[in-house]
Amino acid sequence: MVPSSNGHLWWQRGVVYQVYPRSFKDASGDGIGDLQGITSRLDYLRWLGVDAVWISPFYPSPMADFGYDITDHRGVHPRFGTLEDFDGLVAEAHRLGLRIILDYVPNHTSDEHPWFLESRSSRDDPKRDWYIWRDPASDGGPPNNWISVFGGPAWTFDAATGQYYYHAYLREQPDLNWRNPEVRVAMYDVLRFWLERGVDGFRVDALRQLVKDDRFRDNPPNPDRWPASPPYDALRPVYSTDRPEVHEAVREMSLVLDEGASPGERVLIGELYLPIERLVRYYGEGGSGVQLPMNLHLISTPWDAARLGDLIDAYEASLPQDGWPTWVLGNHDRSRIASRVGPAQARVAAMLLLTLRGTPTLYYGDELGMRDVPVPPEQVQDPYEKNVPGIGVGRDPVRTPMRWSGEDNAGFTSGSPWLPVGEESAEVNVEAQKRAPRSMLTLYRRLLSLRRSEPALTGGTYAPVKAADDLLAYAREKDERRFLVALNLGPGPRTLGDSGLGRGGRVVLSTFLDREGEAVGETLDLRGDEGLIAETTTLPGV
């Protein structure tokens, strides 16, 4: 391990910021964001106070799933720029002290990838076994009952060779066969390719999907499915996902990351929609897994003090001894936090994200309080929405352009943006919020700066104080520095009766940015929708 000044690694202290490249900044004027656009805004990210930038896929792709369908894992799609642009981005990021994390998509390729074209060309092709081909069932139908995450069967018939191929997502995204050693070697070389270009880590896409049941058993029905849930939820994907063999592959990936680097210098983040007890297994035996198995539970847990308190307690209690926690409020696949909980609570959510123990991931635009932008049916681009219309799974509304200014198209592009910028762009933009001393952006910046200056908020202990009656309160402590975080999750005023502030304390930050320095005591009054961080002199039974 490479300890930092306060004994933690950069990805433990730091905050990850997710950039969706189509939507961040368009330098070329074609209406779609690009690498030069990202490079031009790295100084903004430095100013904001994040530490690492995770960039969603920018590789060559027919864009059936907007870049998660790759035809060349070692290139840059011309819409996004060139490899030279990428090298320039890394150099500039490192110059500014920012780390770069790439999206690594090992589970599937595009159906136009040369590997798949070879594989489907004949049953005898040397690459046939690089993908998952099966004979039809006895009735001629798919080999088993597995469903695609994006709706419909997960098997597509190839008439020319008389077999089905498996795709966990779109039919344009055939799954690689990770039981084939040649596939593993080829995909580890992809990691090496980008590591040699200087990247600091990877977010591993769809990790739980990587290895499938060797007997391809049918998935059982899901008794907990609720009527309006997506088709994928009809079955429990116990044979198609989270198989024990995924952990072997993760161990090998993590060895590749350690090649030529000190252990822990580079980071692997796993995208894992899994219950906590299964999620934490991805830390691996003796730390052989991913450093950060993404905890996505803040996205799905109801915004309620008791439920959130239970989640945090359960997660903290499940972590292995060296397992470093991680929290995510939103991403390019799920409704934005400001739409899920409303603009007032989005400020409270920001305080929660940036004061919990563990590495936070912040989705671009959430620092402005951007909300989901309605996209009219005729403009829908997301293949998931097209496959499963009308139940609200569409991801376009959360992928709309970043808002830089009050200019046309929010300063995102000089052309015509690929998705609408939204009606709130006159106020909800970087330029306007930079000037406003109590804006959401100012709040994020203050929270990020506080995290940076107070090791108790990064490496300190976590202790629950209260989780009921709209109040979620906890303490963070390290080396004589003690902080109480008290969040009012409701619109009405609340009093934290036993704040544990003992001999008293003072407000360090309110989500309204107007109480700093105020003295507080054993009883802490919170306005509706207010979050407070107080510095304390004693803590309650902690």
Residue numbers annotated as active site = 205, 259
Among 92, 245, 265, 333, binds ligand NOJ (CB under 6 A): 333
Minimum CB distance to ligand NOJ, residue 65 (Å) = 5
242 binds ligand NOJ (CB under 6 A): no
Minimum CB distance to ligand NOJ, residue 132 (Å) = 16
Q: How many helices and strands (H and E) does the chain possess?
A: 16, 19
Nearer to ligand NOJ, 35 or 105 (CB): 105
Q: Are strands 52-55 and 461-468 parallel, antiparallel or unpaired?
A: unpaired
* Residue 36 structure tokens: 């030069």
Among 58, 104, 131, 169, binds ligand NOJ (CB under 6 A): 169
Minimum CB distance to ligand NOJ, residue 165 (Å) = 16
Mapped onto helix, strand or coil, the DSSP state of residue 300 is: helix
68 binds ligand NOJ (CB under 6 A): yes
Q: Which residues pair with 147 in a beta bridge?
A: 153
Minimum CB distance to ligand NOJ, residue 54 (Å) = 11
The Cα–Cα gap between 412 and 158 comes to 42
Q: State the number of binding residues for ligand NOJ (CB under 6 A).
A: 9
User: Which positions from 85 to 114 touch ligand NOJ by CB under 6 A, shown as an x/- string?
Assistant: --------------------x---------
The Cα–Cα gap between 366 and 350 comes to 9
* Residue 175 structure tokens: 């799954």
Nearer to ligand NOJ, 63 or 267 (CB): 63
Minimum CB distance to ligand NOJ, residue 384 (Å) = 7
The Cα–Cα gap between 397 and 375 comes to 6
205 binds ligand NOJ (CB under 6 A): yes
Nearer to ligand NOJ, 241 or 429 (CB): 241
Contacts within 8 Å (CB) and 24+ apart, 515-523: 522/497, 522/498, 523/495, 523/496, 523/497, 523/499
Nearer to ligand NOJ, 294 or 524 (CB): 294
Among 26, 65, 242, 366, binds ligand NOJ (CB under 6 A): 65
* Residue 150 structure tokens: 């994006």
Q: How many CB atoms lie within 10 A of CB 239?
A: 20
58 binds ligand NOJ (CB under 6 A): no
* Residue 112 structure tokens: 């136009």
Minimum CB distance to ligand NOJ, residue 332 (Å) = 6
Site for ligand NOJ in 509-538 (CB under 6 A): none
Give the distance, in angstroms, between the CA of residue 541 and the centroid of all CA atoms in the same chain. 35
Nearer to ligand NOJ, 6 or 387 (CB): 387
313 binds ligand NOJ (CB under 6 A): no
Nearer to ligand NOJ, 58 or 462 (CB): 58
Q: If you ran DSSP here, which 8-state letter would residue 83 be given?
A: H
Mapped onto helix, strand or coil, the DSSP state of residue 176 is: strand
> How distant, in Å, are the alpha carbons of 23, 31, 66, 321, 323 from that of 26?
8, 6, 16, 44, 38
Percent helix, percent strand, percent coil in the chain, to nearest 5: 30, 15, 50
Minimum CB distance to ligand NOJ, residue 70 (Å) = 9
385 binds ligand NOJ (CB under 6 A): no
Four-point Cα dihedral 236, 240, 244, 245, nearest 10:
-170
Nearer to ligand NOJ, 169 or 404 (CB): 169
Minimum CB distance to ligand NOJ, residue 105 (Å) = 6
Mapped onto helix, strand or coil, the DSSP state of residue 188 is: helix
User: Which residue is listed with tokens 């107007």?
Assistant: 514
Closest residue to ligand NOJ, judged by C-beta, is 68
Nearer to ligand NOJ, 206 or 305 (CB): 206
Name residues whose C-beta falls within 8 Å of residue 121's C-beta, 6 or more positions apart in sequence: none
206 binds ligand NOJ (CB under 6 A): yes
Site for ligand NOJ in 270-299 (CB under 6 A): 271
Site for ligand NOJ in 419-438 (CB under 6 A): none
**Residues making contact with ligand NOJ (CB under 6 A):** 65, 68, 105, 169, 205-206, 271, 332-333
